[in-house]
Copies of this chain bind each other. A is one copy, B any other.
Amino acid sequence: MLNRVVLIGRLTRDPEMRYTPQGVPVASFTLAVDRPFSNQQGQRETDFIDCIAWRKLGETVGNHLTKGRLAAVEGRLQIRSYEAQDGTKRRVAEVVCDSVRFLDRPRDAQGGAMESFGADETELPDDLPF
Protein backbone atom coordinates (compact mmCIF):
# COMPACT_ATOMS: atom_id res chain seq x y z
CA MET A 1 0.00 0.00 0.00
CA LEU A 2 2.76 2.42 0.83
CA ASN A 3 6.29 1.92 -0.35
CA ARG A 4 8.69 4.80 -0.08
CA VAL A 5 12.49 4.73 -0.26
CA VAL A 6 14.90 7.65 0.07
CA LEU A 7 18.61 7.08 -0.52
CA ILE A 8 21.72 9.22 -0.69
CA GLY A 9 24.83 7.59 -2.11
CA ARG A 10 27.43 7.52 -4.86
CA LEU A 11 27.19 5.74 -8.22
CA THR A 12 29.45 2.71 -8.37
CA ARG A 13 29.76 3.10 -12.16
CA ASP A 14 28.24 4.96 -15.06
CA PRO A 15 24.53 4.26 -15.58
CA GLU A 16 23.63 1.65 -18.17
CA MET A 17 21.02 2.68 -20.72
CA ARG A 18 18.59 0.26 -22.32
CA TYR A 19 15.53 0.70 -24.48
CA THR A 20 12.40 -1.42 -24.57
CA PRO A 21 11.24 -2.75 -27.97
CA GLN A 22 8.83 0.20 -27.95
CA GLY A 23 11.77 2.54 -27.48
CA VAL A 24 11.11 3.45 -23.85
CA PRO A 25 14.41 4.42 -22.20
CA VAL A 26 15.46 2.94 -18.88
CA ALA A 27 18.64 3.67 -16.96
CA SER A 28 20.14 1.25 -14.44
CA PHE A 29 22.68 2.23 -11.83
CA THR A 30 23.91 1.20 -8.42
CA LEU A 31 24.25 3.45 -5.39
CA ALA A 32 26.85 2.79 -2.73
CA VAL A 33 25.18 3.82 0.54
CA ASP A 34 27.36 3.79 3.64
CA ARG A 35 25.74 2.37 6.74
CA PRO A 36 25.54 4.78 9.66
CA PHE A 37 27.47 2.54 12.05
CA SER A 38 30.69 0.62 12.04
CA ASN A 39 30.45 -3.14 12.50
CA GLN A 40 32.04 -5.05 15.36
CA GLN A 41 35.37 -5.08 13.56
CA GLY A 42 35.26 -1.29 13.43
CA GLN A 43 34.71 -1.27 9.68
CA ARG A 44 32.27 0.93 7.86
CA GLU A 45 29.96 -1.20 5.73
CA THR A 46 28.18 -0.23 2.56
CA ASP A 47 24.97 -1.33 0.87
CA PHE A 48 25.07 -1.50 -2.90
CA ILE A 49 21.54 -0.77 -4.01
CA ASP A 50 20.33 -1.21 -7.60
CA CYS A 51 18.15 1.55 -9.01
CA ILE A 52 16.27 2.02 -12.27
CA ALA A 53 14.80 5.14 -13.83
CA TRP A 54 12.31 5.09 -16.70
CA ARG A 55 11.55 7.45 -19.58
CA LYS A 56 12.62 11.07 -19.33
CA LEU A 57 14.07 10.60 -15.88
CA GLY A 58 16.07 7.67 -17.22
CA GLU A 59 17.46 9.76 -20.05
CA THR A 60 18.43 12.52 -17.68
CA VAL A 61 20.21 10.06 -15.43
CA GLY A 62 22.01 8.54 -18.42
CA ASN A 63 23.04 11.94 -19.70
CA HIS A 64 24.24 13.49 -16.46
CA LEU A 65 25.14 11.00 -13.77
CA THR A 66 28.49 9.27 -13.86
CA LYS A 67 30.53 6.98 -11.64
CA GLY A 68 31.33 8.53 -8.30
CA ARG A 69 28.64 11.24 -8.40
CA LEU A 70 26.61 11.86 -5.25
CA ALA A 71 22.85 11.55 -5.74
CA ALA A 72 19.62 11.51 -3.75
CA VAL A 73 17.01 9.07 -4.98
CA GLU A 74 13.33 8.79 -4.13
CA GLY A 75 11.33 5.81 -5.25
CA ARG A 76 9.79 2.51 -4.29
CA LEU A 77 11.35 -0.85 -3.55
CA GLN A 78 10.46 -3.46 -6.15
CA ILE A 79 11.13 -7.18 -5.87
CA ARG A 80 11.27 -8.95 -9.23
CA SER A 81 11.23 -12.72 -9.50
CA TYR A 82 12.79 -14.56 -12.38
CA GLU A 83 14.08 -17.97 -13.30
CA ALA A 84 17.85 -18.34 -13.57
CA GLN A 85 19.55 -20.35 -16.34
CA ASP A 86 19.84 -23.33 -13.97
CA GLY A 87 16.07 -23.27 -13.49
CA THR A 88 16.18 -21.93 -9.94
CA LYS A 89 13.98 -19.05 -8.87
CA ARG A 90 15.86 -15.84 -8.07
CA ARG A 91 14.72 -12.50 -6.78
CA VAL A 92 16.10 -9.08 -7.54
CA ALA A 93 15.52 -5.99 -5.43
CA GLU A 94 15.72 -2.57 -7.04
CA VAL A 95 14.52 0.93 -6.34
CA VAL A 96 12.27 2.32 -9.09
CA CYS A 97 13.05 6.03 -9.04
CA ASP A 98 10.43 8.76 -8.90
CA SER A 99 13.08 11.46 -8.68
CA VAL A 100 16.84 11.79 -8.72
CA ARG A 101 18.75 14.81 -7.44
CA PHE A 102 22.39 15.50 -8.16
CA LEU A 103 24.09 16.62 -4.98
CA ASP A 104 27.64 17.43 -5.94
CA ARG A 105 28.97 19.77 -8.60
CA PRO A 106 26.23 22.16 -7.50
CA ARG A 107 26.89 24.74 -10.23
CA ASP A 108 28.05 24.18 -13.77
CA ALA A 109 30.52 26.34 -15.68
CA GLN A 110 27.75 28.64 -16.91
CA GLY A 111 26.64 29.27 -13.35
CA GLY A 112 23.38 27.39 -13.82
CA ALA A 113 21.49 26.12 -10.85
CA MET A 114 22.06 22.67 -9.46
CA GLU A 115 20.53 20.05 -11.70
CA SER A 116 17.62 18.23 -10.22
CA PHE A 117 15.15 16.05 -12.00
CA GLY A 118 11.90 14.39 -11.11
CA ALA A 119 9.85 11.83 -13.00
CA ASP A 120 6.85 14.06 -12.80
CA GLU A 121 8.62 17.29 -13.64
CA THR A 122 6.33 19.76 -15.37
CA GLU A 123 5.67 23.43 -15.76
CA LEU A 124 2.47 23.10 -13.76
CA PRO A 125 3.02 23.59 -10.05
CA ASP A 126 1.66 20.87 -7.80
CA ASP A 127 -0.42 23.36 -5.90
CA LEU A 128 -1.66 26.60 -7.35
CA PRO A 129 -1.46 29.82 -5.30
CA PHE A 130 -5.13 30.74 -5.69
Chain A residues at the B interface, C-beta cutoff of 8 Å: 1-9, 20-22, 24, 26, 33-40, 44, 47-49, 52, 54, 70, 72, 74, 76-79, 86, 90-91, 93, 95-96, 98-99, 101, 103-104, 106, 113-114, 116, 118-130
Contact = CB atoms under 8 A, between A and B. Distances in A.
A10 to B, nearest CB: 8
Copies of this subunit: 4
Contacts of A37: 121-126
Give the secondary structure class of A's interface: strand
A1 B54 contact: no
A1 B8 CA distance: 5
Contacts of A74: 2, 4
A83 to B, nearest CB: 15
Contacts of A125: 35, 37-40
